A and B are shown apart, each in its own frame.
Chain A
Amino acid sequence: GQNIDQPTEMTATEGAIVQINCTYQTSGFNGLFWYQQHAGEAPTFLSYNVLDGLEEKGRFSSFLSRSKGYSYLLLKELQMKDSASYLCAVRDYDYKLSFGAGTTVTVRA
């Protein structure tokens, strides 16, 4: 099975940087995904890591260390619209995704 942990809530100021950590223990690892989810909506894809290192995509970056079972999502230049839940998900060899409980990020002016 999969055990995925991420903080429940984080608060940051507009324009700041926030880092959301995710640790996982899995029976099979075939990639790690980060999704953004606004209340009442489906998740939208943010990033994908399968090899160690940093993947940068605009204001969002994601890092993976497979040996440590650790990933983080970095959100730069925070905007009010970034207030949402951020989900860490691990994929197994059957291509099934297991989600963490999500981190609610609140951006304040």
Chain B
Amino acid sequence: GAVVSQHPSWVICKSGTSVKIECRSLDFQATTMFWYRQFPKQSLMLMATSNEGSKATYEQGVEKDKFLINHASLTLSTLTVTSAHPEDSSFYICSAREDFPSGRSGEQFFGPGTRLTVL
């Protein structure tokens, strides 16, 4: 099956610093990737849609200047949390939608997630 990796798997940083999270599709191309955030005991909330070669589309209430997304290639999207604060501590999960034509249903494949803790 299709595999998506995330790096790092966990990160601890000081308040005010920036953190970059990478999302890679390992064995397929993904023009579109998605970034989610999940707080403890809550469901996944879509933050933004990352499109290769164009600007990301952010969901309502998500600050685009704080959460910078770069989709530089068909297999890599990065999320940078700028000037992180303790309230940004969360579980960040990416997913990648396999490009057509593949015969698949456009299914999203999830990365293993990145646990961010801001002190």
Number of interface residues of A (CB under 8 A): 21
How distant is B55 from chain A, measured CB to nearest CB, in Å? 15
Residues on the B chain within 8 Å of A35, using CB: 110
- 8 Å CB contact of B43 from A31, A41, A100: A100
A99-B43 contact given A42-B93, A45-B107, CB 8 Å threshold? yes
Number of interface residues of B (CB under 8 A): 22
How distant is A108 from chain B, measured CB to nearest CB, in Å? 20
**Is A13 at the interface (CB under 8 A from chain B)?**
no
C-alpha spacing A40/B95, complex, angstroms: 16
Would B105 and A50 count as touching, CB distance under 8 A? yes
Q: Which A residues between 92 and 109 are near B, CB-CB below 8 angstroms?
A: 94-102
List B residues at the A interface (Cβ < 8 Å): 32, 34, 42-46, 49, 91, 93, 95, 97, 105-113, 115
